[in-house]
C-alpha cells in the first residue's frame, strides 16, 4: 500500500468531512492528493487569481485568509491543522475573492476537486457538512470548538454570511427554450444560438422530461457519437433536476454540486410533474455571487455620498421583501438587515469625519431604540447618542462643538438615505444627547436612582443600544453603569414596570381590536404601540433586572429569559414567538404601503390573518401578570 497515501488518510479521517468516508475511500482520495510545503509568508493563492482545480486542507502550521477593502488588508480567518479552505471552485466559477498566505511554515494537502466530487454526490453526510459549513461561517472559526470546520471563501466574515446565501434571491431565465421530445438536434442547436441560450428543456404536456445543454452538443454531437439528425430524446439528460421558484442561491449551488449538473429546471411546485417556469444555469449563480449582501457591505464601504448609500438601502428593501415572500424566519432577516443598516450608519459617520477632519477625542456613536435592538426592517426613524471621552475643562466646549457638527452631518446623510430623525429629538445632534462619558454616567445615574422626577426626560429606548462606531470601552462603561445601578433598585423597576403596562390594551372587553378613534389613522389598529412595544418593554425590563448583559434584541431576550427563569419558560417562549408574528404583520403593512407599518387596516386582513393577529396578542396578558407579580408596582401606578 502507498505509505504516503496511508499517512494522509490517517490524518484526514480525524476531520470532517473526510471522517464520513470509509477508510478505503479515503485511501483512494489520498492517492491523488498533492503535498505542498508552503514557507512562511508565501502565498498559495491571492485575490483575483484563477481558481485552482483543488481545494485544500492544512496538515500542519497556520495559514491566514485575508481580503483587501479600501486599500486595507483584513484578516478573515486563521486556518489550523484539519481546517478546509479554498472551496470556491466547488461553488462558483469566478476568481478567488481572498488571499491564502502562510503565517508560519505550513504543509498543505491539495485535494483534486474532480477526485472528491463523486464522494460529495454520493455521501449525504459529506454534502451536509458542506451545506452546513457553507450556511454558517463562524465569527471565529479557528477556535478550538470549531477545529476542523470548513472555512468558506466569503468576503463577508460574519455569522450572517452563510444565512445570506439561504435567502438571497436568484435571477434566472424566466423564458427558457422549450422543445418537444421529437425535435431534431440540428434545429434545437440553431434555436439555442438564436436565443443566446445554453440549454433547452424538453417537455411533454409542458412538464419537463429532460434537458440538453451546450455541453451535450459538444460531447455527444461534435465528437460524432450521434448525428445532427438525431432527435433530442437521444442526447438529453433525463430526468431533469427540478427546483421550486423560490430556490435560494445556496440551495441551487448545492443541487448542482450534488447531481453534478450545470442547469436546474424551475417548475411551479419544484417537481417534474409541474409546469416549467424557467431554467437556472451556473452563470446565473456567478452573477448572484456579485449581488449578495456581502457585496452590499462592500458597496457601502466604498460609497462616497448619501445618494450611493440610498441605492444600497433600496437593494436591502428588495432583499427584505424577497425574504419575507419566501417565508424566511424573521429573526434571520433581522440579522442581515441589522448588519447592513449598521454598515450604512457607520459609513455616514465616516463620510462626516472625512468632511470635518479627525475627531479631537475618542468617542462612541450608539444607535438606540429599534436600530440598537437590530429590529429595523422598514424605513423608520433614526435614534442615536454620542459619548465622547472626558477632556480638560477648557477644551470641553470646542470638543462638544466638533461632535455636534459631526452628528449633524452624519444624521443629514442618513436622512437623505431615508431615515428621518427621531420626532422626539433622540439623536446625537441634540445637545442633550451628545456629551462626555462622565456626563452620560451622571445622566444614567439620575434616570435610575431618581426615576420619575423628570420623567419627561427619560425614555426607555436609551437602555437599548449598540455601538456603531468608535471605542468599545466607552460602550462597556455605559453598560457597567446601568447594571451597577440596577442592583436592588426596586424604585427603578417600579418605574419601568409601570411604563411597560401603561399602553392601552390591544383588545377591548368584547375581544375586539381597540382601533384609533380619530385622526388620519381612524379605525386602524396601532400595532406598534398596542402590541409590539409592550413586548419590547417587558423584555427590556426583565433583561435588565436579571442581568442579561449584551442582549438587546427582543426575541433573543425572551429566548434567554426562558433559560434564566425556567419557572416562566412558557410565557417567555410564547412572547418571543408573538413578537415575530406581530413584527411580520407590521413589516408586510409597511412594505405594502411604503410606510412605517405602525397602523394596520384590520378590514383588509383575511379572516385567518385576523385570528392569527388576535392569537399573537394572547401572551401579553401573561406577560402583564408576570410583571405585576415580580415587581411591586406601587409608587408610579
Question: What 3 state SS string does 159-189 have?
Answer: CHHHHHHHHCCCCCECCCCEEECCCEHHHHH
What is the pLDDT at residue 335?
Answer: 78
CB 560 within 8 A of CB 549: no
Q: Which three cell numbers stand for residue 303?
A: 460609497
More confident residue, 423 or 480: 480
Asked whether residue 85 carries a pLDDT value surpassing 90, the answer given is no
Range scoring the smallest mean pLDDT among 169-178, 234-243, 323-332, 366-375? 323-332
Confidence at 218, pLDDT banded by 50, 70, 90: confident
What is the pLDDT at residue 149?
Answer: 45
Asked whether residue 157 carries a pLDDT value surpassing 50, the answer given is no
What is the pLDDT at residue 135?
Answer: 42
Asked whether residue 466 carries a pLDDT value surpassing 60, the answer given is yes
Asked whether residue 338 carries a pLDDT value surpassing 90, the answer given is no
Mind listing the pLDDT tens digit for each residue in 395-428? Answer: 999 999 999 999 999 999 999 999 988 888 899 9
Task: State how far the Cα of 597 lies from the Cα of 262, in Å rounded to an integer.
Answer: 42
> For a pLDDT cut of 90, what percent of the chain falls above it?
45
Task: State how far the Cα of 584 lies from the Cα of 590, in Å rounded to an integer.
Answer: 10
Burial of 546 (0-12, 13-18, 19+ CB in 10 A): middle
Asked whether residue 134 carries a pLDDT value surpassing 70, the answer given is no
Closest-CA residue to 353 (of 274, 409, 422)? 409
Whole-angstrom CA distances from 18 to 35, 63, 100 are 17, 20, 22
Asked whether residue 283 carries a pLDDT value surpassing 60, the answer given is yes
What is the pLDDT at residue 458?
Answer: 64
CATH topology of domain 178-284: CBS-domain (3.10.580)
Confidence at 148, pLDDT banded by 50, 70, 90: very low
Asked whether residue 122 carries a pLDDT value surpassing 60, the answer given is yes
Work out the number of other CB atoms within 10 angstroms of the CB of residue 151: 27
Confidence at 214, pLDDT banded by 50, 70, 90: confident
What is the pLDDT at residue 74?
Answer: 66
Average of per-residue pLDDT across 132-154: 39
Helix (H, G, I), strand (E, B) or coil at 618: coil
CB 474 within 8 A of CB 364: yes
What is the pLDDT at residue 379?
Answer: 78
What is the pLDDT at residue 162?
Answer: 44
Asked whether residue 166 carries a pLDDT value surpassing 60, the answer given is no
- Average predicted confidence (pLDDT) for the chain: 84
What is the pLDDT at residue 438?
Answer: 97
Average of per-residue pLDDT across 2-18: 87
Max mean pLDDT among 85-89, 225-229, 298-302, 457-461 falls in 225-229
Mind listing the pLDDT tens digit for each residue in 511-555? Answer: 788 888 888 989 999 999 999 999 999 999 999 999 998 888 999
Asked whether residue 137 carries a pLDDT value surpassing 50, the answer given is no
Range scoring the smallest mean pLDDT among 160-174, 377-391, 566-580? 160-174
What is the pLDDT at residue 170?
Answer: 72
Task: State how far the Cα of 316 lies from the Cα of 339, in Å rounded to an integer.
Answer: 11
What is the pLDDT at residue 626?
Answer: 93
> For a pLDDT cut of 70, what percent of the chain falls above it?
87
Task: State how far the Cα of 198 lies from the Cα of 216, in Å rounded to an integer.
Answer: 10
For the domain spanning 293-478, the CATH number is 3.30.460.10
Closest-CA residue to 481 (of 393, 342, 387)? 387
What is the pLDDT at residue 511?
Answer: 79
Helix (H, G, I), strand (E, B) or coil at 28: helix
Range scoring the smallest mean pLDDT among 58-67, 442-451, 462-471? 58-67
What is the pLDDT at residue 144?
Answer: 34
Whole-angstrom CA distances from 106 to 11, 63, 79, 415 are 15, 7, 10, 50
Confidence at 380, pLDDT banded by 50, 70, 90: confident
Mind listing the pLDDT tens digit for each residue in 339-372? Answer: 889 999 999 999 999 999 999 999 999 999 988 9
Place of cell 408573538: 578
Task: State how far the Cα of 504 lies from the Cα of 160, in Å rounded to an integer.
Answer: 37
Domain ranges of the chain: 32-167, 178-284, 293-478, 490-630
Work out the number of other CB atoms within 10 angstroms of the CB of residue 331: 17
Average of per-residue pLDDT across 196-205: 90
Q: Over the Cα atoms of the chain, what is R_g?
A: 29
Angle ∠(110,112,115) on CA atoms, nearest 5 = 140
Closest-CA residue to 513 (of 499, 528, 533, 530)? 530
Strand pairing of 363-368 and 465-470? antiparallel
CB 458 within 8 A of CB 447: yes
CATH topology of domain 32-167: Jelly Rolls (2.60.120)
What is the pLDDT at residue 498?
Answer: 85
Whole-angstrom CA distances from 559 to 575, 594, 631 are 9, 31, 21
What is the pLDDT at residue 567?
Answer: 93
CB 171 within 8 A of CB 290: no
Q: In residues, how long is the chain?
A: 637
Average of per-residue pLDDT across 476-494: 92
Long-range contacts of 219-227 (CB under 8 A, 24+ apart): 221/185, 221/189, 226/185
Average of per-residue pLDDT across 331-337: 80
Amino acid at each position: 500500500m502507498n505509505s504516503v497515501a496511508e499517512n494522509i488518510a490517517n490524518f484526514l479521517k480525524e476531520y470532517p468531512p473526510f471522517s464520513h468516508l470509509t477508510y478505503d475511500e479515503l485511501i483512494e482520495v489520498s492517492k491523488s492528493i498533492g503535498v505542498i510545503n508552503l514557507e512562511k509568508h508565501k502565498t498559495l493563492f491571492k485575490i483575483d487569481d484563477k481558481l485552482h482545480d483543488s481545494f485544500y486542507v492544512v496538515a500542519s502550521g497556520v495559514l491566514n485568509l485575508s481580503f483587501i477593502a479600501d486599500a486595507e488588508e483584513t484578516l478573515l480567518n486563521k486556518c489550523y491543522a484539519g481546517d478546509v479552505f479554498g472551496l470556491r471552485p466547488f461553488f462558483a466559477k469566478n476568481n478567488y475573492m481572498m488571499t491564502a498566505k502562510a503565517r508560519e511554515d505550513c504543509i498543505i494537502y491539495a485535494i483534486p476537486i474532480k477526485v472528491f466530487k463523486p464522494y460529495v454526490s454520493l455521501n449525504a453526510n459529506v454534502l451536509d457538512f458542506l451545506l452546513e459549513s457553507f450556511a454558517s461561517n463562524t465569527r471565529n472559526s479557528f477556535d478550538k470548538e470549531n477545529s476542523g470546520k470548513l472555512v468558506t471563501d466569503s468576503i463577508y466574515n460574519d455569522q450572517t454570511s452563510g444565512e445570506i446565501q439561504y435567502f438571497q434571491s436568484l435571477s434566472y431565465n424566466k423564458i427558457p427554450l422549450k422543445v418537444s421530445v421529437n425535435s431534431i438536434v440540428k434545429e434545437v442547436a440553431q434555436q439555442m444560438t438564436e436565443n443566446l441560450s445554453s440549454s433547452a428543456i424538453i417537455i411533454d404536456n409542458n412538464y419537463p422530461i429532460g434537458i440538453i445543454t451546450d455541453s451535450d452538443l459538444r460531447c455527444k454531437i461534435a465528437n460524432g457519437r450521434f448525428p445532427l439528425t438525431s432527435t433530442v430524446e437521444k442526447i438529453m439528460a433525463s430526468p431533469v433536476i427540478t427546483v421550486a421558484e423560490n430556490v435560494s442561491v445556496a440551495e441551487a449551488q448545492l443541487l448542482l454540486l450534488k447531481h453534478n449538473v450545470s442547469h436546474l429546471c424551475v417548475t411551479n411546485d419544484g417537481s417534474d410533474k409541474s409546469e416549467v417556469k424557467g431554467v437556472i444555469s451556473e452563470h446565473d449563480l456567478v452573477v448572484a455571487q456579485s449581488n449578495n449582501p456581502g457585496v452590499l457591505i462592500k458597496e457601502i464601504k466604498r460609497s462616497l455620498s448619501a445618494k450611493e448609500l440610498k441605492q444600497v438601502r433600496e437593494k436591502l428593501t428588495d432583499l427584505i421583501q424577497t425574504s419575507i415572500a419566501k417565508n424566511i424566519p424573521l429573526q434571520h432577516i433581522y440579522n442581515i438587515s441589522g448588519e447592513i443598516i449598521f454598515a450604512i450608519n457607520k459609513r455616514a459617520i465616516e463620510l462626516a469625519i472625512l468632511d470635518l477632519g479627525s475627531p479631537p477625542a475618542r468617542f462612541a456613536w450608539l444607535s438606540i431604540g429599534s436600530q440598537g435592538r437590530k429590529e429595523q426592517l422598514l424605513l423608520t426613524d433614526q435614534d442615536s447618542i454620542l459619548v465622547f471621552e472626558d477632556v480638560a475643562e477648557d477644551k470641553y466646549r470646542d470638543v462638544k462643538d466638533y461632535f455636534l457638527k459631526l452628528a449633524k452631518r452624519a444624521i443629514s446623510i442618513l436622512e437623505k438615505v431615508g431615515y428621518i430623525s427621531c420626532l422626539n429629538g433622540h439623536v446625537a445632534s441634540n445637545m442633550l444627547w451628545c456629551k462626555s462619558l462622565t456626563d452620560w454616567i451622571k445622566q444614567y445615574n439620575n434616570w435610575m436612582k431618581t426615576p420619575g422626577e423628570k420623567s419627561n426626560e427619560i425614555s426607555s429606548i436609551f437602555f437599548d443600544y449598540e455601538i456603531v462606531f468608535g471605542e468599545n470601552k466607552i460602550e462597556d462603561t455605559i453598560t457597567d453603569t446601568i447594571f451597577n445601578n440596577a442592583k436592588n433598585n426596586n424604585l427603578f423597576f417600579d418605574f419601568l414596570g409601570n411604563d411597560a403596562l401603561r399602553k392601552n390594551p390591544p383588545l377591548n372587553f368584547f375581544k375586539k381590536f381597540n382601533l384609533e378613534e380619530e385622526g388620519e389613522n381612524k379605525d386602524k389598529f396601532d400595532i406598534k404601540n398596542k402590541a409590539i412595544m409592550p413586548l419590547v418593554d417587558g423584555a427590556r425590563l426583565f433583561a435588565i433586572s436579571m442581568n442579561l448583559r449584551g442582549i438587546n434584541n427582543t426575541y433573543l431576550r425572551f429566548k434567554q429569559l426562558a433559560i434564566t427563569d425556567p419557572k416562566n419558560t412558557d410565557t417567555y417562549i410564547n412572547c418571543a414567538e408573538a413578537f415575530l408574528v406581530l413584527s411580520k404583520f407590521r413589516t408586510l403593512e409597511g412594505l405594502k404601503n411604503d410606510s412605517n407599518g405602525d397602523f394596520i387596516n384590520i378590514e383588509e386582513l383575511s379572516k385567518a390573518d385576523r385570528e392569527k393577529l388576535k392569537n399573537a396578542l394572547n401572551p401579553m396578558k401573561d406577560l402583564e401578570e408576570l410583571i405585576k407579580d415580580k415587581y411591586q408596582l406601587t409608587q408610579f401606578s
